[in-house]
Amino acid sequence: MNSLLFLFLSFFFLHSSLANFDFYMLSHTWPPSFCLKKNCKGRLLGKFTIHGLWPQNNSSPQPAGCTSNYTFKAEDLPAKLKTDWPAIIGDDTDLWKYEWNEHGTCSMLTPNEYFKHSLALYGKPGKNIKDILAKAKIKAGEELVKRTDIEAAIKNHIKKEPQIVCDPTKEYLLEIRICYDKSDNYKDCASYTTSCNEEVRYPYRIKL
């Protein structure tokens, strides 16, 4: 095999494998739960914000830290990231760069396309996760909430199963993840019920 053919095949198989993930998972974080044991910023938002958009496979291993020909440049990113994908701790740009290097590089998109796609999927339900829960009479506060009620509220809105994630104590609602096929249609996420107790806390605010 001559060197030119070898380089061509290497390029082809590398890029084919990167494009061969099965679906996207968009993780929505509830900042008050995230900040229970973190040194969070004062601009804590009272809505679910983006943690990340992750290309996923139907079985392990999951794609991460892929090779990309595209360079991350913060100045090229959408301004809306500041409100919908803020760093709850640390620097915004550091978070976005980390998520790009770890997950965005596996999307086969440019950084600008990846972050725009993330924002588009974040807005796809038509309202924030907080408002979807509120419509089902699930509001942040002191009372315990059934995990199954949270799952049902999201499923009733998007017609597919979400993934519910809690903090390490399994007591506090930390994230709600929504899955999409490559055509951006909702799809069922894999169950992750062991992450949470049967009843969880959905805190309204914490002291910063």
For residues 144-157, b (16+ Cβ closer than 10 Å) or e, as one string? ebebeebbebbeeb
Both tokens assigned to 115: 């972050």
As a whole number of angstroms, the distance between CA 85 and CA 180 comes to 19
Of 15, 28, 75, 99, which is the active-site residue?
Answer: 99
Q: Provide the CA 10 distance to its chain's centre, in angstroms.
A: 31
Mark whether 51 is an active-site residue: yes
Of 15, 28, 103, 161, which is the active-site residue?
Answer: 103
Classify the phi-psi angles of 45: left when phi > 0, otherwise alpha if psi is within -120 to 50, otherwise beta.
Answer: beta
Of 28, 51, 117, 157, which is the active-site residue?
Answer: 51
Tell me how crowded residue 186 is: count the other CB atoms within 10 A of its CB.
19
Mark whether 151 is an active-site residue: no
Mark whether 117 is an active-site residue: no
**80: DSSP letter:** T
Both tokens assigned to 3: 């060197």
Looking at the annotation, which residues are catalytic?
51, 99, 103
